[in-house]
Amino acid sequence: MKIVLFDTKTYDQVHFEEANRDFGYDVVYLAPELNSHTAVMASGADVVCPFVNCTVDKKVIDILKKEGVRLIALRSAGFNNVDYRYAESQGIPVVRVPAYSPHAVAEHSFALLLALVRKLTHAYVRTREFNFSLSGLVGMDLYGKTMGIVGSGKIGRAAISIAKGFGMHVLCYDPYPAEIEGVEFTDLDTLLRKSDVVSLYCPLTKDNRHMINAKTLEEMKDSVFLINTSRGGLIDSEALLEALKDKKIAGAALDVYEEEAGIFYTDQSDEGVADDTLARLISMPNVIITSHQGYLTKEALTAISETTLKNVKEFEEGRVLSNRVS
């Protein structure tokens, strides 16, 4: 079995090579993202392994099929960048990594939240310049505040546990609510209206794209902090920028951005960012943006590599694909 990884970084290769010792597959590591221009690079491969910012649409799938690809093995939980229904219709199943380290993403969201509410980025820059003034650094306790968690999957549940550890009251919205001790499930409007912090832990679908928009931002408290470590398309970035400019919300911390493809995971320091909305968000004093690194822990990278290769093994042996997207 030959596997071609697209959008490969050094840390991907290190962990895949370690995991592949138990499988012995022929793995090729490519730096470019998978798209209609690069799909031919999968020629001769049985499996392609794209990442979150790769584009796997009908055009790409047609090329992959022509080149002999028989399986699309995502090394991510999200699959909004893949036309999996069309892939299935062409006889190419799609598998994913549904859970690698939910704690990694949940913990990163709270790292962002704490940095935002305690103004740690400003304090760090000041002390680097030997400015030890505390003026303008007044923060906010998390204890006793209401945390609005959108999505109660594995990452959402890990976040719920952390929030409760901080002594926060937890509201949760999920289209499929569950019984979770100490958590009050409610509708999205109520959650947005009552929460001091709103944090997103849900996949991106055609139904929830821009669930945070001008209207829903208007419903939130002026003092609310918005956190997104899920998918950028959940938030209308331009509406968020306007809400921040108008001081409609207190701040935002984003590990994802709806137009991040071609920007995140790359070094743009020489030429700058052409995306005006992103550049303006980065420049705001009450915004923190990280480059989709919520998953980036040793534990998560190991789990991603091992699960991806196990998915390939199931396919190779003709077994039921336990992590099939369908």
**Catalytically active residues, by annotation:** 231, 260, 292
Residue 238 vs residues 51, 204, 220, 277, 326: alpha-carbon distances, Å: 26, 18, 17, 7, 33
Rounded distance between C-alpha atoms, residue 50 and residue 52, angstroms = 7
Query: In the 3-class helix/strand/coil scheme, how is 193-225 assigned residue by residue?
Result: HHCCEEEECCCCCCCCCCCECHHHHHHCCCCCE
For 111, other C-beta atoms within 10 Å of its C-beta total 17
Rounded distance between C-alpha atoms, residue 99 and residue 271, angstroms = 36
List, as one string, the DSSP characters of 281-318: HHHSTTEEE--S-TT-SHHHHHHHHHHHHHHHHHHHTT
Considering only CA atoms, which of 199, 191, 223, 196 is closest in space to residue 142? 196
For 103, other C-beta atoms within 10 Å of its C-beta total 17
Bridge partners of residue 199, in order along the sequence: 149, 227
